Amino acid sequence: MSILSIENLHANVGETEILRGINLKIEPGEVHAVMGPNGSGKSTLSYVLAGRDGYSVTGGSVEFKDKDLLELEADERANEGVFLAFQYPVEVPGVTGMTFLREAYNSRLRYEGKDEADAMEFLKLVRSKAKDLNMSDDMLKRPVNVGFSGGEKKRNEILQMAVLEPKLAILDETDSGLDIDALRLVADGVNALRTSERSMLIITHYQRLLDYIEPDHVHVLAHGQIQRSGGKELALELEANGYAEFDDKV
Amino acid sequence: MNSSVESIVPFNQFIDSAQGDHPHGNRGDWLSEIKEKGRIEFYKLGWPSPKFESWRYTNLNKLAKTQFFLPQDIELAELPYQDILPVDAPKIALVNGKFNRELSDLSTISEGILVNNFQEMSDEQRALFSLENPTTLPKEGLPVKALNDAILSDVLFIEIRPGWQSDVPLHIVSIGCGDHVGFSSKIFVSAGENCRLDIVESHAGEHGSTYFSSCVSNIDIKAGARLGHYKLQNDTNTSTHLALTQTSIEADAVYDNFVMSVGGILSRNEVRSFIAASGVDCCVNGAYLGTSNQHIDNTTFIEHAAEGSKSREVYKGVLADHAKGVFQGKIFVHPEAQKTDGYQMNRALLLSDKAEIDSKPELEIYADDVRCSHGATVGELEEEHLFYLKARGINAESARRLLVEAYIGEVIDEIQSQSIREALSKLASDLLKKKLFERSNER
């Protein structure tokens, strides 16, 4: 059974059609990379999958673990196991990192009909995961992402992913704005979360991230469609030749 | 002038009826005199009208046309504990403005704090009373004071001895009860040199009561003292609350004021701080939460009359349904008040397109070497924030609640006293849940 099965997906932002028939299947444990030039629809794909308002699906279907993903609210999708690591993680004034994580974690437990987590146990769990990502206690006490550097924000995304343990992680341009050290730290965090069950969809413009997180499959997205699919060598080819050959195709 | 017209106003009939209500005890005549003077003054000044700059956004027409009655002696079984601030402190209970010994708990009050009601006041305290009316009070503020005097039934005098420092706050609990009763309370606080205390006020009502409550506080903070003054206005949702707090602050003293307005159909909290000397640290902060047709007015005036003092003011409000908020904040800097450091900010969050905020921040500066800034913002909950929380599994209602709580939490964090901060933050979270969120499940 596929984790994710996208068939002929069409979606609009406002009146403009951005996704024009996407087909993609992801099996458990697989890491897929979607690469493409700016404006190809990469971020739209991630938002449509996560269920953001303002993106209307005009055709096709998305199944997630045999459920109709498009029928679910954004919070239900998250509780089913879809996780979007944001390209621009949002600053949330006044809500501390710890409160945010606890609410998210307990939401999922409630969704599954379970009791909320013991506060002390949960604190211990978060602290140990934060330590792996080189994040201080102080960062968890501060409001979510407020005053964080670009690298800190991305690490915070990975921490949330580590705590929430999704079945499908969508990483939207996770490498953007990171220097090489921060990139390595984030990539190590992601790799530590690779299991034979957990699937990942890595959305990126540059091949650079894929040096650190090795994909099983690479797809090229342009003009709202997947133009080509291949193994990890396709990423290297794109790095050498750029996206020029896909720009002509409309 | 045209007293025949005035006496037709139902509220004025109430004021007249208050004159006949002679209190018992040896200070009865003294109180009657104050009431009579207040009544004459109020009729002379008339109702605050929108013609006054500071009454442009708050109209008392409806109040003037409502008939109120003098409170009867009512036996209140206990204080409405769920509606007042949960602080562990000695309590002074006022029921319909009158000191109530049975409901008060002064057994643990410390020896450095003296509490008298009008019958127990000393001649010195009465002399201080007659001085009430600082020059800082402009014409606009006078009717509220005169009205408060005209229906006065008791006075509370709190004296903190010089050098007396206590970590245990003092809690004044003012409860309104009855059907269309009107009353006033008047509180004097004299904070002696180098003393330290937190005073908490909770204003609430017996369930189902409708009342008019007028509150005037006069606070005198002597040099080197530190006074925390925290007020919760949580009156019943049909009641009216009209308050005026005047504080005079002397050298190197700290005044930490916070007003949380959540109750009443109409409320106005006017906070006026007079900084008389240098080295003062004056904080005037507040939060407001309005739903249904509530009208919540916060008017503040901070006057710097001496060199080298600091004032900080932050107000944040959440308005839903048809609620209307008013914020008027003025910092006035006298020519001699060089090196003044003043900051003022009002932020409002509108949760419905029918909610409204009128915000008027003002600076009036006559000194040339000062640092003063002010600002105001109005906004809605941001889609970006909501989506981020939902993308982590938090449902729409919980996400809204978290964000609103955080919004108000930021200003509650300004409160310097840790125990009060925690108590108010807990109460605010319960109130938000009750007023904004749980009601949607009842439909």
Q: For the ranges A7-21, A212-226, A234-248, which has the lowest average pLDDT?
A: A234-248
Binned at pLDDT 50, 70 and 90, residue B23 comes out as low
Tell me what pLDDT residue A165 has: 96
* Burial class of residue B179 in the structure, from the number of CB atoms within 10 Å of its CB (0-12 exposed, 13-18 middle, 19+ buried): exposed
Give the tens place of pLDDT for each residue, B4-13: 444 467 888 8
CA distance A86 to B428: 32
| Average pLDDT score, chain B | 91
Cβ separation B387–A74 shorter than 8 A: yes
CA distance B386 to A45: 19
Cβ separation B395–A51 shorter than 8 A: no
Q: What percent of chain B has pLDDT over 70?
A: 92
Contacts of A74 in chain B (CB under 8 A): 387, 390-391
> Residue A96: closest CA among chain B residues belongs to which residue?
B406
Positive or negative torsion for Cα B136, B138, B142, B144: negative
The structure tokens listed for A159 are: 């921490």
CATH T-level topology, domain A4-247: Rossmann fold (3.40.50)
Identify residues of A whose CB sits under 8 angstroms from chain B CBs.
Answer: 50-54, 73-75, 78-79, 83-84, 86, 89-90, 92-95, 99-100, 103-104, 107-108, 111, 143, 160, 164
- The answer to whether residue B142 scores a pLDDT higher than 90 is no
The structure tokens listed for B241 are: 């609350």
Using CB atoms, which residue from A84, A95, A103 is nearest to B391?
Answer: A84
Using CB atoms, which residue from A86, A90, A107 is nearest to B398?
Answer: A107
- Scan for tokens 């990192």, then name that residue: A97
- The answer to whether residue A249 scores a pLDDT higher than 60 is no
Give the tens place of pLDDT for each residue, B257-295: 999 999 999 999 999 999 999 999 999 999 999 999 999
CA distance A44 to A19: 8
- How near does any CA of chain A get to the CA of B431, in Å? 18
Cβ separation A160–B392 shorter than 8 A: yes
CA distance B203 to B201: 6
- How near does any CA of chain A get to the CA of B387, in Å? 7
- The answer to whether residue B24 scores a pLDDT higher than 90 is no
DSSP assigned state of B345: E
8 Å CB contact between A228 and A33? no
- How near does any CA of chain A get to the CA of B347, in Å? 14
The structure tokens listed for B131 are: 């001085």
Average pLDDT over residues B304-312: 97
User: Where are the domains positioned within chain B?
Assistant: 3-381
SS3 (DSSP) at B235: coil
Using CA atoms, how far residue A155 sits from A85, B76, B91, B371, in Å, is 10, 58, 50, 39
Give the tens place of pLDDT for each residue, B64-85: 999 999 998 777 889 999 999 9
Give the tens place of pLDDT for each residue, A40-95: 999 999 999 999 999 999 999 999 998 999 999 999 999 999 999 999 999 999 99
Using CA atoms, how far residue B43 sits from B135, B136, B241, in Å, is 21, 22, 20
Angle, alpha carbons A215-A218-A222 (nearest 5°): 145
8 Å CB contact between A106 and A132? no
> Residue A91: closest CA among chain B residues belongs to which residue?
B385
Contacts of B403 in chain A (CB under 8 A): 92, 94-95
Average pLDDT over residues B331-339: 96
Residues 6 or more apart whose Cβ sits within 8 Å of residue B159: B113, B114, B115, B116, B125, B189, B190, B192
Buried b (16+ CB within 10 A) or exposed e, B286-313: bbbbbbeebbbbbbbbbbbbbbbbbbbb
Identify residues of B whose CB sits under 8 angstroms from chain A CBs.
Answer: 383-385, 387-396, 398-399, 402-403, 405-407, 409-410
Tell me what pLDDT residue B139 has: 63
Please choose, from the candidates B339, B327, B333, the residue with its C-alpha nearest in 3D space to the C-alpha of residue B300: B327
Cβ separation B410–A50 shorter than 8 A: no
Average pLDDT over residues B371-381: 93
Tell me what pLDDT residue B187 has: 94
- How near does any CA of chain A get to the CA of B398, in Å? 9
Residues 6 or more apart whose Cβ sits within 8 Å of residue B212: B63, B66, B68, B180, B181, B182, B183, B239, B240, B242
CA distance A190 to A199: 11
DSSP assignment of B164-214 equals: -B-SS-EEEEEEE-SEEEEEEEEEEEEE-TT-EEEEEEEEEE-TT-EEEEE
Contacts of A112 in chain B (CB under 8 A): none
> Residue B409: closest CA among chain A residues belongs to which residue?
A94
The structure tokens listed for B368 are: 């040339």
Using CB atoms, which residue from A50, A84, A103 is nearest to B402?
Answer: A103
DSSP assigned state of B340: -
User: Where are the domains positioned within chain A?
Assistant: 4-247
Average pLDDT over residues B193-222: 96
Contacts of B314 in chain A (CB under 8 A): none
The structure tokens listed for B172 are: 């004044």
Supply the angle between the helices B142-150 and B28-45 in degrees, to the nearest 10: 140
8 Å CB contact between A47 and A247? no
Q: For the ranges A156-160, B16-20, B95-99, B233-237, which has the lowest average pLDDT?
A: B16-20
Cβ separation B391–A95 shorter than 8 A: no
ipTM confidence score: 0.96
Using CB atoms, which residue from B394, B399, B410 is nearest to A93?
Answer: B410
Report the 10 Å Cβ neighbour count for B239: 22
Using CB atoms, which residue from A51, A52, A107 is nearest to B394?
Answer: A107
CA distance B64 to B96: 19
CA distance B75 to B175: 12
Picking from B316, B349, B390, B404 by the largest number of A CB atoms within 10 A of its own CB, the best residue to mutate is B390
CA distance A220 to A237: 11
- Kindly give the pairing relationship between strand A4-13 and strand A16-26: antiparallel
Q: For the ranges B129-138, B201-210, B225-234, which has the lowest average pLDDT?
A: B129-138
- The answer to whether residue B133 scores a pLDDT higher than 60 is no
Torsion of CA A103, A104, A110, A112, to 10 degrees: -170
The structure tokens listed for B255 are: 């005044």
DSSP assigned state of A19: E
Using CB atoms, which residue from A54, A94, A111 is nearest to B409?
Answer: A94
Positive or negative torsion for Cα A208, A209, A214, A219: negative
Tell me what pLDDT residue B122 has: 81
> Residue B387: closest CA among chain A residues belongs to which residue?
A52
Give the tens place of pLDDT for each residue, B209-264: 999 999 999 999 999 999 999 999 999 999 999 999 999 999 999 999 999 999 99
Using CB atoms, which residue from B385, B391, B402 is nearest to A50?
Answer: B391
Cβ separation B393–A75 shorter than 8 A: yes
Residues 6 or more apart whose Cβ sits within 8 Å of residue A38: A205
CA distance B256 to B298: 16
8 Å CB contact between B111 and B191? no
The two counts, helices (H) then strands (E), for chain B are: 10, 19
Picking from A43, A84, A92, A116 by the largest number of B CB atoms within 10 A of its own CB, the best residue to mutate is A92
Tell me what pLDDT residue B2 has: 42
